[in-house]
Structure 1
Amino acid sequence: MTINTPEKASILIVDDMEENLVALEAVLGSLDQQLVRAHSGEEALKAMLRQEFAVVLLDVLMPGMDGFETAANIKRLDQTKDVPIIFLTGTEADTDYLYRGYAIGAADFLTKPFDPWLLRTKVNVFLDLYRKNRQLAAQAEQLRRLLVGAPTPAAPVGPAGSVEPMGGARDSLSRARDAGAGASAGSGQQLAEITERLAQIELQLRDAEGAEAVGLADRIADLERTVRSLRAGRDAY
């Protein structure tokens, strides 16, 4: 299965200090991804509603809406709640910061001044996870399109050459019975089962990572092969 996914992901960097944004851009520039700036929590939320991000680097201490409040708002919205957040804190950060951040849903913390190699490494982890999830979602969508596009037996011809209306409410099994295709009925049932299994896999995509993501990809590939086999059998019929 060939899947086309965007070559570059977007990274949101949020800090009220211009010099900190410049430093982050200098460190992350070598990753060759799209870097989007935000000088405040309000700007960050607007940016996240405009486009999709693989990860957010969020300064904790900002005037107005601070990092914790910004993160809480991000996690509150269905559109953005699954985007991982890396908090950037000063050396004065203590265990209360960590507890509060992780309670909100932070994925990680980095203390300023941060090590450039460590920052790139942590960001790369989330970029890889983002790409895997995008690929899995694209595979699932392609399989769904394959299922929707599965051919059905021709409608039986009634008196005077009229075509019997099939009706949108009839499922694969009903159409197969109308055509007198016992084998097609079995195929329709299998397609229905595959559709249900696909829906279950899609529910797991959000939290999939590492070996689990690879396993889901293999399951989707198996389903695709089964669907193609069923389609070939129905076309032959």
Structure 2
Amino acid sequence: MSNRERHSGAVTLRGSVTRSSTADQALLDSRGRPDWKTKDAWRTLRILSEFVEGFETMADLPPSVSVFGSARSAENSAECRLGYELGGALARAGYAVITGGGPGVMEAANKGVAEAGGLSVGLGIELPFEQGLNDWVELGIDFRYFFVRKTMFVKYAQGFVVLPGGYGTMDELFEALTLVQTRKVTQFPVVLMGTSYWGGLIDWLRTTMLGEGKISKEDLDLMMLTDDVDEAVNHIVNTSETAP
């Protein structure tokens, strides 16, 4: 039997029944879809069920912080060491830690909080290159739809910490900044950790985006840049609406 394995919500697929497409792809790809009127209407029930599952599972979480970073980072990398230290510090400050549940920085943060006695949460996602939840996740949910998962990251967190990462990390960062800028969420600290990694982005935001009037100076103040774990945690404690 093939060792291929995919998770699609509560369903595990192996061998010949493993699909190459994902639920998100089926929802968003409208090419050659004459049946979209019927299938998309029924698909809303599956989407609703994911929201219900997420809300039910996470409603009783203690104050939590969502931590983002690359799944591709090596275990001994600087950002993984930083993620591990951050997870432990957040646990000692009374926070649970929510990650995407994957490897790399996410696993490091989950390990740090678990070993420090805090609650380690992982929100997985169905992807063509299946990863699965890392072994340090104590409370895990697998989602089919990115937008449902992203809602859970924001709804149940008192702040974001963003370590070096790729497109997915950038997506979460700018979604959080947009929600704070537009006052969809208030008192929501966003911390960037890794000054050498994020410094160029901050410079571009300041010189180009602010320089051309696309954002205001106050918008740059919506995030904090640091390499210091204690400084990051103290900022979250002092800025978030709900502290432990």
Relative to the length of structure 2, the TM-score reads 0.37
Q: Which structure has the larger Rg over C-alpha atoms?
A: 1
Relative to the length of structure 1, the TM-score reads 0.38
